[in-house]
């Protein structure tokens, strides 16, 4: 058991190997830092985390070191004494901040980072009010094409080299480098080799100032307008924990949320920039039903009773000819409600798993210079491009023991053996789509085809009923990732005016009263399905719950 004294307060750090920044953090003392990042190597070059350090001698006295030392590089040992608020430490930090601002342009008004900029924050908290520098600042030209998604505002860089180390240590692609020397040092790329790896977007998050900016988000919003919601990325089965940033119900960006159980600190660009369909103008905005061969917009008041009636009729004719397709983009709760609805109509109704989009192999990082993966793996982009196959499968297994594939549904439908298909899709737009034109034509042979989806697809064009679905950012629920980690989705934006969340639609189909409330349903799910038993309380904390 090791005890560290942080500003006179004893902090027990157990047996963990921590540096002083982490140890002080345990004691509630924040030590400012730029170059240090828990996932990257220590270079101790920004000199922002300078503190006074001492050791407790065997006789109990404290021997302070004669100079300030960087906290990031100093391991916390039993008896280490850290002083962050002494005149000397504060002076060293203020001096570093003044230095950083020597060549940093004060263009905060036009800088996208303003508001979440660590240089701003630390200067406010630890720095001087005014710079004494009166000479001209060195302002190298911007590099707008340092990456397809990244722009480098060279003059704002404070040379923490987090981005360089990221590309070398996490992605392994090593596109970024430091060029020139001294105050002329700048981040650069090799000519013609932009930073376009699949994790490149992370350097924007890593950048403590506004030097590396995401072109996707550039100038779209000032960050202080954004409201952040904890959620889960729905783009692959890694299930990265993310912050969903929105303003006035428009989704502006996703940022990775540190979660050691899920993905660590980072997320891939596919997920990061793949959310734009949520704001799409193409979305299915209201329920539609087919009358005289044409799909016409309708109200929920019309559609829901008709839907209930038609499905009940089909079940009455032949329960086994009714199929509900549960896409792996449904939350566990939604899958559970839909399964329960159909199973309550008849035990013979069949439940199928929607198509599971899979692209290539799992993509692991870091890579070596030949693009081959290197051990140890620090980040994985999964081939399975859906967030909740495991969760939905577990629900299906519970209700009918086996999982019917989507191809079987298409085949049965093409053979004209089905009376009704309810396809709860909710797929984001990805190349190829979730259903091809042929598959859609086969599905359309079923007299009652209900398609619930976010965007129009060949299947929705042929469906008898089209029901709007909502995206991951608009609903609450649980996703279970590839490893069995159940994470909670929080609603970040309101769905379009006439869209009901999928869970609400299922609830209404069941004629259960009230609004859908994820924790309640989750508790029910945990009671009914043993796999989800750890979720019995209905709540999931920010890191999620590991299901076995």
Partner 1 sequence: MPIKTEDVKWIETPKLGVLDHLYLPAILEGLKTTVFGHMLTPNITVQYPEVQAKMPPNYRGVHRLNRDEEGRVKCVACYMCSTACPAHCIDIVAAPSPWPDREKYPETFVLDELRCIYCGMCEEACPVDAIELTTLHVLTGLSREEMMFDKEKLLSVFDQTVKDGTDPIRTSAGRLGPASEQPKQAPVPGQPGAQP
Partner 2 sequence: MPEYEPVLLRRVGRPNSQSIDTYRADGGYRALEKAVAQLTPEQVVDQVKASGLRGRGGAGFPTGLKWTFLPKNHPGPIYLAVNGDESEPCTFNNRVLLEEDPHQFLEGVILAAYATRAWVAYIYLRYEYGRCYRTLEKAVAEAYAQGLLGRDILGKGFHLDVHLARGAGAYICGEETGLLESLEGKRAWPRVKPPFPAVEGAFRKPTVVNNIETLACVTHIIDRGVDWFKSMGVPPDPKNPRDPGSYGPKLYNISGHVNKPGTVELPLGVTVRELIDKYGGGVWKGRKAKGAIPGGISMGIMTEAEFDTPLDFNGPGKVGCLGLGTGAVTVFDEQTSIADVLYNITRFFSHESCGQCTPCREGTGWMMKMADRIRRGDGRLEDLKILEEIGNAIGIMPGTTICGLADGAGWPVKNAIKKFRPEFESLIRAGTKSTSLQLVSAH
CB burial class (10 A; 0-12, 13-18, 19+) of residue 130?
exposed
Which window, 136-144, 296-304, 336-344, 510-518, contacts partner 1 (CB under 8 A)?
136-144
CB burial class (10 A; 0-12, 13-18, 19+) of residue 132?
exposed
Give dist(CA 447, CA 320) in Å, integer.
Answer: 15
What tokens does 457 get?
């697809």
Give dist(CA 418, CA 366) in Å, integer.
Answer: 48
Among partner 2, partner 1, none, the one that 83 touches (CB under a kind-dependent 5 to 8 A) is: none
CB of 138 to partner 2, least distance (A): 7
Answer yes or no whether residue 137 interacts with partner 1 by CB under 8 A. yes
Give dist(CA 83, CA 470) in Å, integer.
Answer: 51
> From the list 13, 18, 158, 311, which residue makes contact with partner 2 (rule: CB under 8 A)?
158
Q: Using an 8 Å Cβ cutoff, are 458 and 435 in contact? A: yes
Among partner 2, partner 1, none, the one that 142 touches (CB under a kind-dependent 5 to 8 A) is: partner 1
- Distant-in-sequence contacts of 507-510, Cβ < 8 A, 24+ apart: 507/337, 508/300, 508/304, 509/304, 509/307, 509/308, 509/311, 509/341, 510/337, 510/340, 510/341, 510/344
Binding mask 54-83 vs partner 2 (x if CB under 8 A, - otherwise)? Answer: -----------x-xxxx--x----------
Binding mask 150-189 vs partner 1 (x if CB under 8 A, - otherwise)? Answer: ---x------------------------------------
Binding mask 92-131 vs partner 1 (x if CB under 8 A, - otherwise)? Answer: ---------------x-xx---------------------
Give dist(CA 385, CA 357) in Å, integer.
Answer: 5
Residues in the chain: 548
Among partner 1, partner 2, none, the one that 281 touches (CB under a kind-dependent 5 to 8 A) is: none
Among partner 1, partner 2, none, the one that 220 touches (CB under a kind-dependent 5 to 8 A) is: partner 1
Instruction: Output the 3-class SS for 258-306.
Output: CECCCCECCCCHHHHHCCHHHHCCCCCCCCEEEECCEEEECCHHHHHHH
Give dist(CA 338, CA 295) in Å, integer.
Answer: 24
Residues 221-250 that bind partner 1 (CB under 8 A): 222, 224-225
Q: Using an 8 Å Cβ cutoff, are 255 and 241 in contact? A: no
Report the residue number, 177 or 510, with the smaller CB distance to partner 2.
177
What tokens does 470 get?
């909502």
Instruction: Output the 3-class SS for 443-480.
Output: HCCCCEEEEEECCCCHHHHHCCEEEECCCHHHCCEEEE
Report the residue number, 132 or 369, with the smaller CB distance to partner 2.
132
Among partner 2, partner 1, none, the one that 411 touches (CB under a kind-dependent 5 to 8 A) is: none
Residues 20-49 that bind partner 2 (CB under 8 A): 42-48
Among partner 1, partner 2, none, the one that 415 touches (CB under a kind-dependent 5 to 8 A) is: none
Q: What sign results for the dihedral spanned by CA atoms 208, 211, 216, 218? A: positive
CB of 46 to partner 1, least distance (A): 23
- Enumerate helices (H) and strands (E) in the chain, giving the number of each: 14, 25
In sequence order, the 6+-apart residues with CB closer than 8 A to the CB of 228 are 243, 244, 245, 255
Give dist(CA 284, CA 410) in Å, integer.
Answer: 23
C-alpha to C-alpha distances, 227 to 230, 232, 239, 246, nearest whole angstrom: 10, 16, 21, 5
Among partner 1, partner 2, none, the one that 227 touches (CB under a kind-dependent 5 to 8 A) is: none
CB of 235 to partner 2, least distance (A): 36
Report the residue number, 248 or 411, with the smaller CB distance to partner 1.
248
> From the list 181, 294, 372, 513, which residue makes contact with partner 2 (rule: CB under 8 A)?
181
Report the residue number, 7 or 142, with the smaller CB distance to partner 1.
142
Which window, 97-105, 106-114, 145-153, 460-468, contacts partner 2 (CB under 8 A)?
97-105
Report the residue number, 163 or 349, with the smaller CB distance to partner 2.
163
Which of 198, 204, 211, 260 is CA-nearest to residue 38? 260
Which window, 78-86, 133-141, 451-459, 506-514, contacts partner 1 (CB under 8 A)?
133-141
Which of 276, 218, 235, 253 is CA-nearest to residue 380? 235
Q: Using an 8 Å Cβ cutoff, are 365 and 378 in contact? A: yes
> From the list 62, 102, 461, 546, which residue makes contact with partner 2 (rule: CB under 8 A)?
102
CB of 212 to partner 2, least distance (A): 18
Give dist(CA 514, CA 477) in Å, integer.
Answer: 17
Report the residue number, 131 or 320, with the smaller CB distance to partner 2.
131
> From the list 133, 461, 515, 536, which residue makes contact with partner 2 (rule: CB under 8 A)?
133
Report the residue number, 12 or 107, with the smaller CB distance to partner 1.
107
Report the residue number, 100 or 463, with the smaller CB distance to partner 2.
100
CB of 16 to partner 2, least distance (A): 20
Which of 336, 545, 314 is CA-nearest to residue 422? 314
> From the list 184, 220, 227, 512, which residue makes contact with partner 2 (rule: CB under 8 A)?
184
Report the residue number, 88 or 215, with the smaller CB distance to partner 2.
88
Q: Which residues of the chain form contacts with partner 2 (CB under 8 A)?
A: 42-48, 50, 65, 67-70, 73, 91-92, 95-96, 99-100, 102-103, 132-133, 135-136, 138, 158-159, 178, 180-185
> Which parts of this chain interact with partner 1 (CB under 8 A)?
107, 109-110, 136-139, 141-142, 153, 218-220, 222, 224-225
């Amino acid at each position: 058991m090791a005890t560290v004294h942080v500003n006179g307060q004893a902090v027990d750090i157990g047996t963990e190997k921590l540096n002083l920044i982490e140890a002080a953090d345990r004691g509630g003392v924040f030590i400012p830092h730029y170059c240090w990042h828990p996932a990257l190597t220590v270079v101790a070059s920004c000199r922002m985390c300078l503190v006074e350090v001492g050791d407790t001698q065997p006789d109990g006295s404290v021997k302070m070191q004669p100079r300030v030392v960087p906290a990031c590089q100093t391991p916390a040992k039993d008896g280490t004494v850290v002083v962050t608020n002494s005149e000397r430490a504060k002076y060293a930090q203020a001096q570093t901040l003044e230095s950083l601002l020597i060549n940093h342009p004060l263009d905060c008004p036009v800088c996208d980072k303003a508001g979440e900029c660590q240089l701003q924050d630390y200067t406010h908290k630890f720095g001087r009010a005014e710079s004494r520098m009166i000479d001209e600042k060195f302002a190298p030209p911007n590099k707008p094409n340092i990456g397809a998604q990244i722009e480098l505002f060279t003059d704002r860089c404070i040379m923490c080299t987090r981005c360089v180390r990221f590309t070398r240590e996490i992605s392994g692609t090593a596109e970024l480098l430091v060029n020139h020397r001294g105050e002329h040092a700048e981040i650069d790329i090799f000519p013609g080799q932009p930073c376009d790896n699949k994790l490149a977007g992370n350097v924007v998050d890593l950048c403590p100032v506004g030097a590396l900016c995401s072109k996707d988000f550039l100038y779209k919003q000032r960050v202080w307008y954004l409201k952040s919601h904890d959620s889960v990325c729905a783009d692959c089965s890694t299930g990265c924990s993310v912050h969903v940033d929105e303003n006035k119900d428009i989704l502006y960006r996703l940022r990775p949320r540190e979660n050691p159980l899920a993905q660590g600190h980072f997320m891939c660009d596919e997920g990061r920039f793949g959310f734009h369909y949520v704001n799409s103008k193409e979305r299915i905005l209201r329920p539609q039903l087919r009358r005289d061969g044409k799909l016409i917009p309708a109200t929920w008041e019309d559609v829901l009773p008709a839907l209930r009636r038609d499905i009940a009729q089909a079940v009455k004719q032949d329960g086994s000819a009714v199929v509900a397709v549960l896409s792996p983009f449904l939350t566990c709760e939604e899958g559970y409600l839909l399964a329960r609805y159909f199973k309550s109509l008849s035990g013979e109704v069949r439940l199928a798993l929607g198509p599971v989009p899979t692209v290539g192999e799992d993509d692991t990082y870091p890579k070596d210079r030949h693009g081959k993966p290197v051990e140890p793996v620090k980040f994985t982009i999964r081939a399975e491009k859906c967030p909740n196959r495991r969760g939905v499968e577990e629900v299906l297994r519970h209700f009918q023991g086996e999982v019917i594939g989507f191809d079987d549904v298409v085949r049965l439908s093409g053979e004209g053996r089905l009376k009704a298909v309810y396809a709860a899709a909710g797929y984001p737009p990805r190349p190829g789509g979730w259903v091809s034109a042929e598959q859609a034509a086969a599905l359309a042979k079923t007299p009652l085809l209900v398609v619930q989806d976010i965007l129009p697809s060949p299947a929705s064009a042929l469906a008898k009923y089209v029901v709007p679905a909502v995206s991951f950012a608009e609903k609450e629920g649980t996703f279970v990732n590839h490893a069995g980690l159940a994470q909670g989705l929080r609603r970040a934006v309101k769905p379009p005016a006439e869209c009901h969340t999928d869970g609400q639609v299922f609830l209404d189909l069941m004629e259960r009263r009230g609004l859908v409330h994820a924790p309640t349903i989750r508790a029910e799910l945990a009671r009914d399905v043993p796999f989800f038993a750890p979720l019995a309380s209905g709540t999931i904390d920010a890191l999620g719950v590991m299901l076995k």
